[in-house]
Structure 1
């Protein structure tokens, strides 16, 4: 899909999950999905907990029975507000503002 089509693609879904579990990079796709109002089912690790936060659920994706139950539970939840709110924490304006605050703080030291 073309980049500009991705919001429409995400909005055509009910839920997002990326069941990778080993040395995943930041995971921008989680933020893209949440910005589109999708809840997320993610591997339970520190990085995903920071990114997904209250925008989804965490599970052992290597256990298909547990993973399936978590997907079912997530599909029964309205994630739209929580997911968007979590994605907004990583908006360019917020991240740039935080970097600016840190940089100016270091200059004053």
Structure 2
């Protein structure tokens, strides 16, 4: 997983905004979905399943939005959802290993 994140960060280092990727579990019908922002220092995780959803929980005093690029288009997420990229990495691994909402995401 770290190699994938490193590759995305390397390939998008010159972009005007950090990239956003979508992650699902292969061979799982109706897999939960992660929307993942991958900035050099900060990123976010958005989680949605048939039963619940939520965002990573960063500094809740922040207001406004932060832009990420998904499929060539700008997407804005709440600034309060940004967390350190290292926590995003851990959340990705947790999702991959358990198939459940990462603990970095609040419902």
TM-score, normalised with respect to structure 2: 0.33
Rg larger for: 1
TM-score, normalised with respect to structure 1: 0.32
Bigger strand share: 2
